[in-house]
Amino acid sequence: MSAARVFRTVDAHCEGEATRVVVGGLVEVPGETMFAKRRYLETERDDLRRTLLFEPRGQSCLSAVFVFPTRNPEADAGFVIMEGTDYPPMSGTNTINTTTVLLETGRLPMSEPVTELTLEAPAGLVAVRARCEDGKCVEVTFRNVPSFATHLDAPVEVEGHGTVAVDIAYGGHFFGLVDANKLGFEIVAEEAADLAALGERIKTAIGEQVEVSHPDNPGIHDIGLFVWTGRPLVGGDARNATVVSPGRIDRSPCGTATTARMTVLAARGELAPGQEFVHESILSTTFRGQVVEEVAVGDLRGVTTEVTGSAWIYSIQSVIVEPSDPLPTGYTLSDTWGTATPRPFDPAA
């Protein structure tokens, strides 16, 4: 067998949400920062994302992370996040999965009982604290980039559902949040397909009717994810289902969505700094979070948050593309990729 391209990967899941962490086989990716590398990958080398995440080598409920050396003297490593349709500037589950992989495989040194490090994400620097025992990363706490709410109860017109009240907050990317219970959902596994389909429709409507822009980085200006919020079912403080494009539910409580939810609660005066917040996923796995302090983001009132969760490595492998493979960058079909459509075969990719 001769391979045109080989990626060395370590796969892990964080409370149910899977990440393919690419630790070898990358091409040269220019850029002084992770944001610049993200932009290059998005505009010039999106074939790499498609190869790793599209079928037959990937699947719709999988993210990927490229790990890079960083030129930021305050950071220990950098990473760029890739999902089924885009490149999020920040992701909590991917941060927890990546930290666990880097420490448990020895790519960064592990100190017991606590390892502290800083990762550079496209959204900025992320401080990480990992509790470690007997070579295992037991749990990871990350301090997210500063977050802020831009809209509370904004009216958005959704065809077939009238006016829907939407909260919008930045927690590493912009989220639209809607109360699922008010629309008749409980956020349970049996509702996943309906939650994903309607969530994508509402997210599209938000993007068409509400403008957002990060005050310190105008390059971040889209509603990246949609979040269904709801009452807890297993003893937490709240429940959520984050809709990831092209139309599936995040299996974990979603770290950046947990930040966005806490940010909205803080903006309403319903969550004080230091108060623990337990966030449930559609699988009833949980993250613990808290607002650390109030901060200014441009001329907006914001907060910094910490979120804690655990991850488990489940696969170490090489992902291979043979020269004769007729589908080198994979494909998507609408039976498992929601509204996605097959990409035409590009023999030059």
Last residue of a domain, one of 269, 289, 306: 306
Answer yes or no: 91 catalytic. yes
Question: Is the residue at 333 inside a domain?
Answer: no
Same domain for 165 and 262? yes
> CA torsion sign, 256 to 238 to 292 to 167?
positive
Give the CA-trace dihedral at 199, 90, 332, 15, to 10 degrees. -80
Last residue of a domain, one of 306, 321, 337: 306
Residue 1, pLDDT score: 60
> pLDDT per residue over 211-269, tens digit each?
999 998 888 888 989 999 999 999 999 999 999 887 899 999 999 999 999 999 999 99
State yes or no: pLDDT of 28 exceeds 60: yes
Same domain for 204 and 113? no
Residue 348, pLDDT score: 39
The number of domains in the chain is 2
Query: 174-179 and 223-230 as β-strands: parallel, antiparallel, unpaired?
Result: parallel
Question: Is the residue at 339 inside a domain?
Answer: no
pLDDT interval class at 2 (50, 70, 90): low
CA–CA distances in Å: residue 270 to residues 133, 237, 262, 349: 35, 12, 9, 50
Strand segments (E) across the chain: 5-14, 17-24, 62-68, 77-82, 114-121, 124-133, 136-143, 147-158, 162-170, 174-179, 223-230, 238-244, 248-249, 277-280, 286-297, 300-309, 311-321
**Rounded to whole angstroms, how far apart are CA atoms 149 and 267?**
7
**Rounded to whole angstroms, how far apart are CA atoms 177 and 228?**
6
**Rounded to whole angstroms, how far apart are CA atoms 197 and 192?**
9
> pLDDT per residue over 115-171, tens digit each?
999 999 998 999 999 999 999 999 999 999 999 999 999 999 999 889 999 999 999
Question: Is the residue at 178 inside a domain?
Answer: yes
Same domain for 102 and 231? no
Question: Is the residue at 317 inside a domain?
Answer: no
Residue 75 token pair: 């950071």
The residue segments making up the domain with residue 154 are 147-306
> pLDDT per residue over 307-328, tens digit each?
999 999 999 999 999 999 999 9
Burial category of 134 from C-beta neighbours within 10 Å (exposed 0-12, middle 13-18, buried 19 and up)? exposed
Helix H or strand E encompassing 195: helix 192-209
Same domain for 117 and 259? no
DSSP structural state of residue 310: -
Residue 341, pLDDT score: 40
Same domain for 183 and 273? yes
Same domain for 139 and 151? no
Question: Is the residue at 244 inside a domain?
Answer: yes
Residue 342, pLDDT score: 37
Question: Is the residue at 347 inside a domain?
Answer: no
Same domain for 216 and 289? yes
| Mean pLDDT, rounded, for 322-342 | 81
State yes or no: pLDDT of 293 exceeds 80: yes
**Rounded to whole angstroms, how far apart are CA atoms 12 and 279?**
21
> pLDDT per residue over 186-216, tens digit each?
999 999 999 999 999 999 999 999 999 999 8
pTM, entire model: 0.91
Same domain for 284 and 298? yes
State yes or no: pLDDT of 349 exceeds 70: no
| Residue 347 zone, left/alpha/beta (φ > 0; ψ -120 to 50; rest) | alpha
Last residue of a domain, one of 143, 160, 176: 143
Same domain for 134 and 190? no
Mean pLDDT of the chain: 93
Same domain for 15 and 95? yes
Same domain for 288 and 166? yes
pLDDT interval class at 27 (50, 70, 90): confident
Same domain for 58 and 202? no
Residue 212, pLDDT score: 94
Structural contact between residues 17 and 257, judged by C-beta atoms closer than 8 angstroms:
no
Residue 340, pLDDT score: 42
Question: Is the residue at 331 inside a domain?
Answer: no
> pLDDT per residue over 54-95, tens digit each?
999 999 999 999 999 999 999 999 999 999 888 999 999 999
Question: Is the residue at 198 inside a domain?
Answer: yes
Identify the active-site residue in 60, 91, 252, 310. Answer: 91
Estimate the crossing angle of helix 255-267 against helix 92-104, to 10 degrees. Answer: 140
**Rounded to whole angstroms, how far apart are CA atoms 198 and 88?**
21
Calculate ∠ Cα 140-143-147, nearest 5°: 140
CA 226 to chain centre: 12
What CATH code is carried by the domain that includes residue 241? 3.10.310.10
